[in-house]
Each structure stands twice: as structure tokens, then as C-alpha cells.
Structure 1
Amino acid sequence: MELRRIVRPCFNIHKHFAHSALRGRNGLEGARNVCHRVHDKRAYSSGTASSLEREAVPLPQEARVVICGGGILGTSVAYHLTERGWTDVVLLEQGSLTCGTTWHSAGMVGQLRNNTIEMDVTRYSRDLFKRLEEDGHGLGWKECGSINIARTHERMIDFKRKHALASAIGFEVHMLTPREVKEKCPLLKSDDLEGGLWIPSDGVVTAPDVAMAFSKLAKSKGVKIIEGVKVQKIQTQNDAVKAVKTSNGKINCEYFVNCAGQWSREVGKLSIPKVRVPLHACEHYYLVTKPLEGVDRMMPVIRDFDGYISTREWNGGILAGGFEPEARPVFHTGVPDKFEFQLLQEDWDHFQILLEQVLHRYPVLERAEIRQLVNGPESFTPDSNWILGESAEVDHYYVAAGMNSRGIVGSGGIGKYMAEWIIDGQPSIDLWQYDVRRYVGHHNNRQFLQARMREVLGQQYSLRYPGVEHRTGRKLRTSPLHTRLEVSGACFGETMAYERPMWFDPDKRDRGEDVYNHQGSFNKPAWFDIVQAEYVACKERVCLIDMSSFAKFEIKSPGKEALEYLQYLCSNDVDLESGSIIHTGMQNVLGGFENDCSIARLSDNCFFMICPATQQTRASSWLHRHLPPDGSVQVRDVTSMFSGINVIGPHAQQLLADVTDVSTDKKDFHVMTCKVIDVGHAGGIRAMRLTHTGEDGFILYIPSEYTLHVYDTLVDAGKDYGVRNAGYYALRHLRIEKSFAYWGLDINAYTTPLECGREFRVKFDGDDFIGKEALVKQKKEGVGQKFVQFILENFDVDDDVWPWGNEPIFRNGRYVGKTSTCGYGFTLNRMVCLGFIRDCDESAQPKMNPNIYDYVMDKNAVYEIDIAGRKYLAKPGIHTPKLALSVVDPSLLASLYK
């Protein structure tokens, strides 16, 4: 059948299908009517199951590690554990190896990603595949390279940003003109292109063969791989893995690894407590043609992101698939039993949007004959990132799932770093954005997942602008102020499903625009003038910021147990008088930040802890895993019990004084102290004199039922002070300008207090705490990196592409680090970038430098930051700059104080 015959309005494709060349799958006996839609109850096709013979392997009574899932990830984890010397491993597969989603993978290996962490993972995978192929394992590895093509100017900016970062870390990648794209792939239509990116070391593999090679190598080292055995329950003791009950008996074990692919969410329910694995399967399509004249075996992989499609050579023909803008979730009520080596029912109608783009990019395909339209299920996650790491609910329970169609390219690196995680307690690189603990309970809600999946699949290729939010699954967690702020023009962002006002634009609602979806840009954002106005109001008047999304915990005990517990967890001294607040880290054994928080001592044996919303699950897990076994300390998550209002600005003190009977004068209400006060008619409010920005003010933690009353009281009383609402962007720009580091964006579990200028918060001479030994050693030997604020020179805020994070930093022409967060300094009147720089040896490894300050601030050092291919001179600074309010446009001030 010719492809051009199926793009006519009336489809008729009931014949001329060839048998599939795909492994383990019979060809379709006939095409279904494309007007017939797929439903869950009839989603799987009539393909036959695998005929692979299963080796009879007895089920052992015990093992150190049990892995569930015999796909690309399970076999990779098993192989990499053996590479580290752990061979007492059992891998269980309910069907046959590769029978889930691995067998129908397109096998494209593309290394270029948005960040260096994922590039580390994918580059390791690619190098491993190449090595195994050279060792004779027959993976079908072919180093054909790949070309990412751009149809728009904005896509080219994205490419230039990736090119700058990849080149800086030594990864070979080349910018191409449309003519050069055509030269590398003559079959392409190129006259509508802006350009492209050439990655010569990319390639393709045969995915099932990779998994079989991993399993063969693992078995040769002693791993037992048992097929036809279903995991029925993960037994726990004291919330830690104890054993795995299977259809063939029980295995006692220390570690369990959930690599069950599209079954992973269901496997997560097989333990007590249950483990959250938020993923959902979607239909995922590609087309395979018969051999076609002009298709070279070494034709590069083509990714046409703006057309949602990707292609590769396949047995002399072309494999073409993609990620349609609106996907179709499947298996909402569960994956059918015995779904082995099977596909979903093909639907040409749904594939049409991709088919049109394939034919547009490859005009030669109009007369191509097709082998098969493949519709295989693929699992996606709420934020399009992998799910990796140790679960928050059960100790020694690990997850590697939710590959978002990046499982093959990620499999090698994921196996390596999961093995490190299991053996060493944490991986050697920061995988927080993929950590299973980044989720809260609602993320695993089945209805939420089904709605979010319709959007997430298409995001694999859509242009992701900074700050652009998801459209689906919104307004789930809202503060009591949400409706009031919505009416006031709040434009919301979402973190951990919590709606937060990012800025306020009352005119946006008047124009009928959606306040939950924002148009993105790589240049000066549309909200710039509004955020500047809010920033100035925080500096000159008083603003109210809804900070209810912050995670909040109470730690109590009958005696001194809570204090002793926190002293062991915290690197700062918690043993202060009641009413005091400290900022402190909770370090891991390497000295890195497991948590960055503020703790108020409410009474001798009661503490109130606040940390960023993104840390809610992670912080809870860390706290609970270190609780005394005697139950003497109680930890309670009270996030939903208290709302938070930041009252910030020079008039904050007088405003609060007007609505409470407590003196707010600094001599009575000191900075970094907490008092329980009344506001208006409401009581029990925990008022803290801090703002997280360096400006004077208070954060009021209010029992949720009083929030609206307190807010209205402050608004009414603040009219004479020019009170107004402000959003998180104003807060962000204030803290960036003052060089305040933020956990998850600037600092992480691999950053120590000495590296980010917080050594003054470490009790070196006080009680022992987790990580103290590492920090004492670092204090003596020096650090290998330092947190630095850069002020850009000759940057045009109106016309130049903005820095948004992950821009490479150069010192005397040598790459030394990358930016973390960036923002315009409205007082400095300069673009400001935060980031770490490293003093590295010739092999690019950080040196422990006791004189890192001198290295950073050497007057002969010239710093540059590369933003989308253009380098800007950057002035470094380690200490917070002295700021004085700059001259502001009088018309702006007038608009503020109307």
C-alpha cells in the first residue's frame, strides 16, 4: 500500500499489509477500520505471545537484591550490580524477557539533552552500547549520527542553548544550515528549515538485543534470571524490605527494585505501606516502510521537533513515529493479563497528524509501501522525567520506571547510577529532578494521571519555554486565599501541585486570558514590568505574598528527645531559647544538603520546621528515617493546617503593629524570632520576623480557617501604606540579587555549606551531626567549587536572549561551571546569574582548594557566560552586594501607589 493513498479524506486500508519484521510479533491479518476508536477493554491486538523457551531456574529462598521486571531497565540494573561485585541478585519476570515495552522500542540513541545530568546518563549508555557491540554482543549498534532540525527561530535559540552547554562539556555537536542538513540527508525537504544540530556520535540499537546482552552478562556473573514468575507482594518489617512473595514462593531479601515498566504503579501497591510510582501508559505510534530506493543504511536519525516526528533507517526502509500534541492514555483500569509481546490496535485516524508531518518532511514516502503501523504502550510521568531512586515509603525499595520513551537511551546510565544508589546509598551525580521523592500523594491519583498524560506525551518534542506550566491537573492544591487572589489578577504557577501566584496582572483577566497558562519566551518575559513594580513595592512600601505552599512540620517529644534528634540532624545549633529561629541544613554523610530549612523553637520540646514546597516528601522521608526507634519523637506534616503570608517591605512593621497587640518594634520583636500573636479577630498565628529575601518583614503562619480574615485585615489596614499583592517572581528576583541560594535550584545533596557561603551556620565546635566529619575535613582541605554571583556586562535586557539557568561559565576561556538561577537585578540594573565554578585539574576533576576565594576573585581572571552562543563578560562576586535603591521611573512609582 502506498502512503499517499491513506491521506485522502476517506480511508480504505484493508489490504496489502506485509508481515511485520518486528521481533516476536506476527503480522496483522488485516487493517482495522480507522474510524473505530480503541477502548481499554479491547486495546490489545491479536498478536501471538513469545515463543522463546524459558530456562527452568529454581526460586532461591533468599537473595540480597530482587529485581522485578525483565525489560531493558531490570536487566541493566542487574548487569551493573554485578559490575560492582554484587552477584547475589535475582531478577523476576512475569512473562518473558523484553515482553513488555522493550521489544517494540524504536531503539534511537540520542544523547543531547537539556541538562548535563541527563547527558551524563545518555552518553554513558551510548558508550556502553558501542563497547558491547565491539565485544561481539550483537546489539545492532550503528553509529549513524542524528540531526535535530528546527523550523522556527525560537527552536534555533533552544538549539543554540543546547549547543553551548554540550560543547562546553566536551560533547561533539555542530550547528547546521538548511543546506548542510540537506547534504547529510538528501531525502529531506529542507526549504522550510531554520537550521539544525548534528550529533555525529548518536546512533541506533535493537532494543531487545541490548536487554538480552545485559541479561547474558549478568547471568555469567551469577545473577539468577527467572521468567514466568509474578511478584505478588513485597513484605516489609519496620517499613523496610524484608521479602518478596511470588507466584512460585517467597524470597527473603534486603533490597527490592521495581523495574516493572507499565506495571510499576501496580507493583507499588503490593507493599505496606504502598509505594507511589506515578506513571500511566499511552498509545505510542511509529510506522515502518518496506525498503525504499535512496535510503542509505547509515542515514542519520532525524528529529523534527516542530513537526512532532522522528525517523531512522529500518531494514532499508524508514521507521517514522513521533509524539502527537494530544495523546491517548490506555490501560486506565490496569494492564490486561498476559500482555506479552502484544501491541495496541492501530488507528490511522489518530496517527494522521504525525503522518502528515512525515510526508511533508519526506516527500519520497508518498509512494512507499508500509510494513506495519505499530501502536505500542509506553509509560509517561506527570513531569516527563524518569522515576528513579529509593522510595520515601519503604527503606531499601528502589524504583527505575517511567521512561517517557527515553528508556533505551537512558538504560545504561540508569543501570549504573541505580547500582550506585543501592550499594553506596546515593548516586555519584545529582539525580534530584528524577527522584521518586519529588512527588506527593495526588501525583499517583489515577484520574489525575489520565488527564495529565494527554498533555505529557506531546511535551517530549514541544518547545519548553522557561516558566511555562502544565495545562492539565491544575487547581488541585490551593490556599484559602486562592479565589481572592485569582480575582485580584494573580497569574499562577504550580509546584508540587500547589497553585502559587507568580505575579499579578488584573488586566489579564479583563482580557479573558487564562491565568494558569502563560506564553513563554527565551527573551525578556511579558511579566517584566509587572514584576519590577512588585519588586519596587517590596523595597519601598509593603507587599503581601501568599507562601502557603511551603512545607511545614511539627517535631515534638515529652522530654528533650526532640532537641537531641534535631541536633543530630541539623548542622546548625538548634538549642536556642524558645521563640528563636535558625536557618539550617540537614546534611548527608558527604556534607551535602538533604534539607535546607528554617526551624522555630516554639517551646522546650516543640519545634516548627519550614522548607521549600519541593522538599515536602523528601524532607518527610529524611525525618522519619532517622526517628528514634522508641517512638519518643513525633513528626507531623502540618502543611495543610497553616497558610503563609509574607508581609514584606519597610512598612511591614507598622502595618502589623496596626492589627495586633504585640509590639513589632525591632527591640521587642527581633529578627529571626517567632511569636504567637493575634491579627484582627484571629488567634494562634505564628509570626516570624524573616522574609527569605533580606528585606525586613514577617511571615505569618496562620491556622487555615483564619487565613481570609487575616488577609482582609492586612489589606484594609495597609491602604495608607500602599499595600499590594506580589508574587513569587518578585521574591525570586529579590533573593537572586542578594545572592541567596535556593535548595533544588542552586544547592542540592552534593553541595556543602562551605561551598555556598554558609559555613557560619555550621556548629563545628558543637554537637555531632550527620555529615560533620565530611565538613571538618573539607574545612581543613578546602573545597572544589564555590557559589558565585555574576553580573553581566553589555547585556541588553530588551533585545538579548536571557539566561535561564544551565548556561556555561568560562574562566580565561576554560569551562568552569554553569549557571543555576538567573534574574534581572532591578536595583543593580544588571542581569544577575548565580552558579558554581570549579577549580579543576587537567583531567577536569575538581581540586580541593583552601584558597578558593583567591581563585574566584583573581583580578586577572576573565569570566564569560555563554547565552545561546553569545558570550558576555561577567563580574564575579562571592559576598552579597551592597544594594541601594536605584532611580526608578517616576511613572512606575506613580502607578504603584495609586
Structure 2
Amino acid sequence: MTDLPSTAQVVVIGGGIIGCSTAYHLAKLGVDVVLLERHKLTSGSTFHAAGLVGQLRSSANITELLGYSVDLYDRLEAETGQATGWKRNGGLRLACNDERWTEVRRQATTAQSFGLDMQLLSPSEAQELWPLMDVSDVIGAAFLPTDGQANPSDITLSLAKGARMAGALIVEETEVTGLSIEKGVITGVETAKGRIETPKVVVCCGQWTRDFSKRYGVNVPLVSMEHQYLVTELIAGVTSDLPTLRDPDRLTYWKEEVGGLVMGGYEPNPKPWAVAGIPEGFQFSLLDNDVDHFEQIMEKALGRVPALETTGIKSMVNGPESFTPDGNFILGEAPEQPGFFVGAGFNAFGIASGGGAGMALAEWVAKGAPPFDLWPVDIRRFGRPHRDTNWVRSRTSEAYAKHYTMAWPSEEHSSGRPARRSPLYAQIAQRGAVFGEKMGWERPNWFAEDGEEARDVYTYGRPNWFTAVAREHRSCREAAALFDQSSFAKFLLKGPDAEAALSWIAAGDVAGPPGRLTYTQMLNDRGGIEADVTCARLSEAEYYITTGTGFATRDFDWISRGIPEGMNAQLVDVTSAGAVLSLMGPKARAILEQVTDDDVSNDGFAFGAARTIFIAGAPVLALRLSYAGEPGWELHLPSEYAVAVFEALHEAGAAHRLRDAGYRAIETLRLEKGYRAWGGEIGPDTTPLQAGLGWACRKDTPFRGKDALEAARGTVPERRLATFTAPPDTVLLGRETIFRDGERVGYLASGGYGHTIGQAIGMGFVRHVGGATSDWILGGTYTLDVAGEKIPAEVTLRPLYDPDNLRLKS
């Protein structure tokens, strides 16, 4: 029996692959770490994982994180002397219809953009790598030579051994009974064997994480789902170097195992498990096989590998695993509780993620920040709807069922809807709104007119909403458009030190008089952009801050944690109290003048001003700004007035051709104007100087990240944001590879279409060692790789659209 230490810098709870990897990396960083496992290592869900290790994801940084796993697994056995079962036998992905082949070719472009070698193969070339399969229905395939597979238990035990070698203490058969928290600060971990004083805990308890975290007010939205696979007897022709195989059109995956095959898949009708709670004593445990449920997968598999029909089944495994509402895992420090870190919800790719996730989580714990932008898996991407486990289970079931379905551009989920509705939901629904959803909010994506089908029809070509969005886009450019943006996250920062606090957190000048509006970034210590917000000063001691719908939790956490100690300033979330109507376009002022007696002339209400006006009896905080590149106002008002103001604007706007418009038009408008989007072009790894936003950062007074920013001001960034145009029939979605004079120099962060300029538009970073000067950027000849085809492109560092000069040249 191992005695517990009385103190530790960090305690990791959970001895699966994520917990052991985190402990391994913490120990490598010199952190005094203890890992506690209530039973034996791997006894949760790790021991029954299938063990496929793929790397490519839609995010460059998550792909890098999975690539780190591969690099770690390459050297781990030699380092520890503990077998891992790891082999780089490559990964093969099939396409059996034209749409899937388009998806696979675009994935190959994404892989190229992220520096991975994904090779496109003919059916016969794929069969040479995987001779057992029938390829009569295969159109093409993609092969990633650096993918592989591992033995989940062995690789976890190897990580544990490496952790011990680096100084970590791992204690099994030790149940954590609770945490000690005093005045909001973690002080210790209580166990059945005693207490460990510690300021930080890392909860890596797999499917048990949600319930444990909930005890301390921390929300971890994951649920358990049954996941089945089978292991065959020996099959002639199965060699140890057989690549892993993913056959998404048949919903199945395959890997070699001791001369036989492992085959599993993702059913369209998944089965949630432990809805009433995980049974006590569930360890090294499996569920009863559900042959009837698995039969649908088996039927599809037989068509791919005919030998399966005459091969014996050695075993069938049905084990519960934790899945999340968006199919991504969960990492990071909980916004509800400082010092409480989470690594959980790995959606059946915990082995692939384990090495990289443990590295990233360890850095986050030890250094206070992740090694790079991890927004797709950040725990702060969740919000209010994700606290309802029934809602989470419904959405997660849909995400599980879509694991191998087509990943359509702009695809929306349908489960758990509608949840959060704008006070104008009924009005805009009657006017033809086709809704999308973000953070539980129903938001109008576009508006259908008579004769148009009011639903999304997904494709990799021109979607059915293209004409409607063009109509809305042109209305905004030529007349006026009204956008319901009530889902904006909205905060009040109040207190006598509000100005001083916000001046430290924000890089822009927020110290102006009441009535001034500031667009600003909030930077980390490296100068990267952690938030991109608008701040309206309401009074000497109060600011109104708005940010994107999806960033509500994250930005609130960043701002509230950023208030310097000792300052008297409080942040309050007021999102649900107010509606937002954005009136944009050259006729916006004429419309507004008809519904208010307040002076909204250019002289009386200049750009960058914030003032309360009255419309239809409603007090409206009008913000003079635009994300569309046209004159306009965001109108923020109490929710109970929303319908009256909406009706008044439409009545006055009828003579000015006012049209309702949705979020997809906002995207096309902002691309033409070159406006940046957080999570797209900008984020924690991007500085304002790289993104062309240096003008928004003040130079005189201190703010967080200023030192890093100023140190970089005298040099030319090696990486800079540029805008690209391509022929109008090109469909740009983001992640297309940028080539300059035939050399790969970057990839698009976002893509779309400019309905005013009549061209495809993409924004992305280009890189040049020694400095990406304007002359270098503009002096090259560019092409974009779109699904394997090289498309000629033009580059500019200026907006494509300007009201006074329609098409600006470089």
C-alpha cells in the first residue's frame, strides 16, 4: 500500500489514458503531481477502447495535438521499456459516392494545409493496401501514412511508467471522496485514505466526470453511450502492417488485431447508457452485447469484407464511452471554479487524443495557459443549454449518429430545438426565417420567399440558400436590412474601478467619455487575441460589452478573471434581458429618422457613438457601428419592447425597401469588407499586428499583452492576414491551401462569396520566413487548392468593398 503524501502541487483524479498522460507531462515539467485512481489504471473505459489513432481534424491545432500523440507514441516504448502496441501502419478512408469523394478530396486539401501527407488513391490502389476488401462500389480513397493503432491498456501503462520515472506518484485503489474549497479556492482533495493539500485538481474521470464535477458547480456536458465492436478469429491475408480502415458510407471502422480484425461502427440510432446514473462498482466492466442493434453495422460490413461471412467471431465488446454534444472532447480550467481542470468526453478517440491532450492539459495547469489555441475543445465553449443533461443527451445522440455521415458545410443540428428564442422569434418565423442554432439560441440564417423551400439543403456545391442570401446582401448594400441579433452575449462592467479594470484588460482606448463606443481586442501575455468585443461607456462607472453568441462563457470568464486584484469592478451577464436589432444599409438613417425624434444625423450621431434614443416608446441604446460595411446602428433594447420596435422599423422601412436578413448574409458582407471574426481569422495565437488590427491598440498606456505587442512592432511579422478572390464558380469554405509562386505558404481561415463584387472570397494567413512584407505578399502569383484543383486567385491587403469606391485594388 502506497502512503499518500500530505501535499502536492497538482492532484490528477482518474487513471485512464488522459489522466496518465496528464500526470506524465506534468511530471516532465517538474511539477509535484499525484494521480489517484479509485480502482486500477485503465479500469474505466480505456481498457475496452478500439485503439485507432487518426490525426486529421477540421482544426489545425487539434490536428497538431493529435500529431503530437503520434510523435509521443513513436518514442514512448523506448523511453519506458513498457510495450505500447503502437505501430504507424497508416490509415485508409474510403469514398463510395460522388459527394463523399468531394468530401474526401477536401479533407486531403485540409491535410495538406495542416502539413499532413494525405494521399488520394484509386480503388485498385486502395485495395493493394487492404486486399481483403471488395472495392466494387468504391470511387476513391485517401491514405494517411502516419496514422496508426495502439493497445489502449499498454500505452496507458507505459505513460504511467514514464510518469513515475519522471517523479509522479500514482496511487491506485484510492477513492476521492471530495474536494475542500474555502472561499472559492481549492485547498485539498479528500480520499478514503486521507487528505492531500493542493490548490489544483485535474479531473480525468471519463464518464464519471460530469457527476463528480457537478458537486462543485462545474458543468461538464457529456453522457455515456453504448459502443460495440467485434474481434474476429484469424483471417488469411491479414498482416500486421494492415492499415486501419474507415468506411464512413458503411458506418464502419476496421483494424488488425493478432491476425484477425476488429470491426465497429456508429449506428444511426445510438443507445444512451446509464440514464439514471452509472451503477456502483462499475470497473473493468462491459455491457451485455446487443446483437440485434449491431446487426445493421454487421450487414454493411459484410459487403466490404466478404471473408467476414465465413470467419469466426472471437469476441464482441460492448462498452460505454463518454460523448459530447459537438463530438469534440473537453479540456481546460472550469470557468465556475479556479484550480479545477477537466480532461474528459473523448468521443471514442481518447487513444488518438491521449498524448496531445495530456500535454496540452499539463501545460494549461502548470503555466496558466494552453500551449496554443484550443477553442474547439475548450470547456468554455458551452453555456446555459448544456447544463440540462436531457438536452445534452438529445444533442449528443444526434452527434454520435452523425459520426460517419457527410460533414456538410454549414450543417445545423436538429435535436433539442427550439430552446432559446429571441422575443422576435414568432415574427421573423412568419416572415420566412430559416433558423440555425448557436449556444441554444434560434437565429435566422436566411429568409425564404414565396416559392422557396424554407429549409437548408446541404451540398458541397452552391447551396439552396445562395440566391436568398444574395438578395439580403444586396438589400443591405443598396437599401437597408434588419438583422435580429438578440443572441449577442451582453455584459455590464460596473463599479468605481470599471475604467481602470477595462483599460488593463482591453487593448483599445476605453477611457473616453460616456457615450463613446470602442471596438477592441483583449490580449494574452503573448499578445494573442483572447477576445474581440465592443465596449460602450454608459457612465463614469459602467460599461456595456457585447460579444459573439458562442463566446458568452469564454469571454465572461476572460474578463472577470482579468479584473486586477483589489479593483472594485463587477461583471454581470445581461444577455437575456435585452433584444438587439441591427439596422444596416444606406437607407438606415432615413428609416431611423422616421421612428425617433432624436437626432440621428451624421453630425448629431457620429460613427463610434453610443446613445439612448426612443423608438415606439422604448428606450433604445443605439450603437453607431457596422459589421456589414454600410452605415448602420445596433439597437439594444429591453426584450419587452422588441416587437413594437420591430414593427415600427418595418412600417417605416417599407418605402425604403427594408428587408429582413440573416446570419449568412452577415458573413458574406463582412468578408467583402475584410472584417475579422474571432475563431476564424483571429484568436489566441494571432496578434493584432499579424491580423492588421494594430490600429485598434493604444500605444501610450499599459494593458495586458502590450509588452509583447510593442516588442513585435518594430519587426515585420512572418505571418500576416490577407484576402483572396477566386472565380465566381469557386466554392471556398476555409482551409483551402494557399500557394504563392507554386510554394505552399498558408491556408484560408474562412471562405465564402461576395455578392457585390461577384467573386469567391477567402481570408487567410500567409507565412514568409524573414517577414511577410506587403511587397512580398502583393508581388506573388497565387493559386488556391480546392479539393485537389488549383484555382487562380488574386490577393489584397485592403477591403474588397468600400461604399465610396466599390472595388479597391491592392
For the aligned pair, the TM-score class normalised by the smaller chain equals over 0.9
Give, in whole Å, the separation in 2 of the partners of 1:242 and 1:85: 21
In the TM superposition, residue 796 of structure 1 has moved relative to its aligned partner by 4.5
Match of 1:667 in 2: 603
Match of 1:619 in 2: 555
* Residues 53 and 149 in structure 2, CA contact (< 8 A), matched pair in contact too: yes
Q: Does 1:528 align with 2:466?
A: yes
How many residue pairs end up in the alignment? Answer: 805
Write out per-residue CA displacement over residues 72-122 of structure 1, whole angstroms, 9 at most, x where no aligned residue: 000001111122222x11101111100000000111112233332222122
Match of 2:641 in 1: 706
Give, in whole Å, the separation in 1 of the partners of 2:30 and 2:749: 36
Q: Which moved more, 1:337-346 or 1:63-72?
A: 337-346
In the TM superposition, residue 459 of structure 1 has moved relative to its aligned partner by 2.2
Q: 1:862 aligns with which of 775, 781, 785?
A: 781
* Residues 492 and 545 in structure 2, CA contact (< 8 A), matched pair in contact too: yes
* Residues 446 and 469 in structure 2, CA contact (< 8 A), matched pair in contact too: yes
Q: Where in structure 2 are there 5+ consecutive unaligned residues?
A: none
* Residues 305 and 461 in structure 1, CA contact (< 8 A), matched pair in contact too: yes
In the TM superposition, residue 629 of structure 1 has moved relative to its aligned partner by 4.5
Q: Does 1:762 align with 2:697?
A: yes
* Residues 384 and 459 in structure 1, CA contact (< 8 A), matched pair in contact too: no
What amino acid is aligned across from residue 308 of structure 1 in structure 2? L
* Residues 232 and 270 in structure 1, CA contact (< 8 A), matched pair in contact too: no
CA 1:506–1:74: 2 relative to 1, 3 Å: same
* Residues 828 and 886 in structure 1, CA contact (< 8 A), matched pair in contact too: no
DSSP-derived class of the 1:144 partner: coil
* Residues 494 and 571 in structure 2, CA contact (< 8 A), matched pair in contact too: yes
Give, in whole Å, the separation in 2 of the partners of 1:630 and 1:131: 48
In the TM superposition, residue 155 of structure 1 has moved relative to its aligned partner by 1.3
* Residues 325 and 393 in structure 2, CA contact (< 8 A), matched pair in contact too: no
Q: Which moved more, 1:318-327 or 1:95-104?
A: 318-327
* Identity %, equivalent residues: 37
Give, in whole Å, the separation in 2 of the partners of 1:191 and 1:62: 62
Q: Does 1:690 align with 2:635?
A: no
Q: Does 1:853 align with 2:810?
A: no
What amino acid is aligned across from residue 381 of structure 2 in structure 1? R
What amino acid is aligned across from residue 386 of structure 1 in structure 2? F
Q: 1:731 aligns with which of 658, 666, 673?
A: 666
Match of 2:759 in 1: 830
Match of 2:721 in 1: 787
Give, in whole Å, the separation in 2 of the partners of 1:297 and 1:744: 41
Write out per-residue CA displacement over residues 122-147 of structure 1, whole angstroms, 9 at most, x where no aligned residue: 22211221222345421112332221
Give, in whole Å, the separation in 2 of the partners of 1:140 and 1:756: 44
Match of 2:798 in 1: 879
DSSP-derived class of the 2:402 partner: helix
In the TM superposition, residue 200 of structure 1 has moved relative to its aligned partner by 2.2
What amino acid is aligned across from residue 165 of structure 2 in structure 1? S
Give, in whole Å, the separation in 2 of the partners of 1:573 and 1:132: 50
Give, in whole Å, the separation in 2 of the partners of 1:773 and 1:130: 39
Q: 1:115 aligns with which of 59, 69, 72?
A: 59
Match of 1:39 in 2: none
Match of 1:253 in 2: 198
CA 1:671–1:812: 2 relative to 1, 3 Å: same
Match of 1:813 in 2: 742
Q: 1:286 aligns with which of 229, 234, 240?
A: 229
What amino acid is aligned across from residue 303 of structure 2 in structure 1? H
Q: 1:64 aligns with which of 1, 6, 9?
A: 9
Q: Where in structure 1 are there 5+ consecutive unaligned residues?
A: 1-55, 841-846, 888-898
Mapping of 1:22-421 within 5 angstroms? 56-86=1-31, 88-135=32-79, 136-271=81-216, 274-421=217-364
Give, in whole Å, the separation in 2 of the partners of 1:503 and 1:545: 10
* Residues 385 and 439 in structure 2, CA contact (< 8 A), matched pair in contact too: no
In the TM superposition, residue 595 of structure 1 has moved relative to its aligned partner by 1.1
What amino acid is aligned across from residue 718 of structure 1 in structure 2? G
Mapping of 1:638-649 within 5 angstroms? 638-649=574-585
Q: 1:607 aligns with which of 543, 557, 569?
A: 543
Give, in whole Å, the separation in 2 of the partners of 1:884 and 1:62: 64
Match of 1:720 in 2: 655
What amino acid is aligned across from residue 561 of structure 2 in structure 1? R
Q: Which moved more, 1:376-385 or 1:710-719?
A: 710-719
DSSP-derived class of the 1:532 partner: helix
Write out per-residue CA displacement over residues 508-548 of structure 1, whole angstroms, 9 at most, x where no aligned residue: 7x85x6x4xx3321111211111111011111111110011
Give, in whole Å, the separation in 1 of the partners of 2:448 and 2:464: 11
CA 1:275–1:803: 2 relative to 1, 3 Å: same
Give, in whole Å, the separation in 1 of the partners of 2:147 and 2:689: 39
In the TM superposition, residue 190 of structure 1 has moved relative to its aligned partner by 0.4
Give, in whole Å, the separation in 2 of the partners of 1:461 and 1:441: 28
Mapping of 1:528-677 within 5 angstroms? 528-557=466-495, 559=496, 561-630=497-566, 632-677=568-613
What amino acid is aligned across from residue 36 of structure 2 in structure 1? L
Match of 1:29 in 2: none
Write out per-residue CA displacement over residues 799-835 of structure 1, whole angstroms, 9 at most, x where no aligned residue: x4x1101111122222221111111111211111101
Give, in whole Å, the separation in 2 of the partners of 1:453 and 1:613: 20
Match of 1:14 in 2: none
What amino acid is aligned across from residue 763 of structure 2 in structure 1? L
In the TM superposition, residue 636 of structure 1 has moved relative to its aligned partner by 0.7
In the TM superposition, residue 628 of structure 1 has moved relative to its aligned partner by 4.8
DSSP-derived class of the 1:566 partner: helix
Match of 1:445 in 2: 388
TM-score by length of 1: 0.87
* Residues 384 and 439 in structure 2, CA contact (< 8 A), matched pair in contact too: no
Give, in whole Å, the separation in 2 of the partners of 1:459 and 1:633: 45
In the TM superposition, residue 458 of structure 1 has moved relative to its aligned partner by 2.2
What amino acid is aligned across from residue 783 of structure 1 in structure 2? P
Give, in whole Å, the separation in 1 of the partners of 2:589 and 2:802: 21
* Residues 392 and 617 in structure 1, CA contact (< 8 A), matched pair in contact too: yes
* Residues 164 and 868 in structure 1, CA contact (< 8 A), matched pair in contact too: yes
Give, in whole Å, the separation in 2 of the partners of 1:171 and 1:531: 35
Q: 2:710 aligns with which of 751, 776, 779?
A: 776
In the TM superposition, residue 442 of structure 1 has moved relative to its aligned partner by 1.9
* Residues 279 and 444 in structure 1, CA contact (< 8 A), matched pair in contact too: no
Q: Radius of gyration: which is bigger? A: 1
Give, in whole Å, the separation in 2 of the partners of 1:692 and 1:167: 32
* Residues 231 and 316 in structure 2, CA contact (< 8 A), matched pair in contact too: yes
CA 1:117–1:448: 2 relative to 1, 3 Å: same
CA 1:170–1:854: 2 relative to 1, 3 Å: same
Give, in whole Å, the separation in 1 of the partners of 2:143 and 2:136: 18
Give, in whole Å, the separation in 1 of the partners of 2:660 and 2:525: 42
* Residues 387 and 434 in structure 1, CA contact (< 8 A), matched pair in contact too: yes
Give, in whole Å, the separation in 2 of the partners of 1:360 and 1:563: 67
What amino acid is aligned across from residue 643 of structure 1 in structure 2? A
What amino acid is aligned across from residue 247 of structure 2 in structure 1? D
Give, in whole Å, the separation in 2 of the partners of 1:128 and 1:555: 44
DSSP-derived class of the 2:273 partner: coil
Write out per-residue CA displacement over residues 206-254 of structure 1, whole angstroms, 9 at most, x where no aligned residue: 1000110111111122211111222222233443332112222221112
Give, in whole Å, the separation in 1 of the partners of 2:182 and 2:578: 33
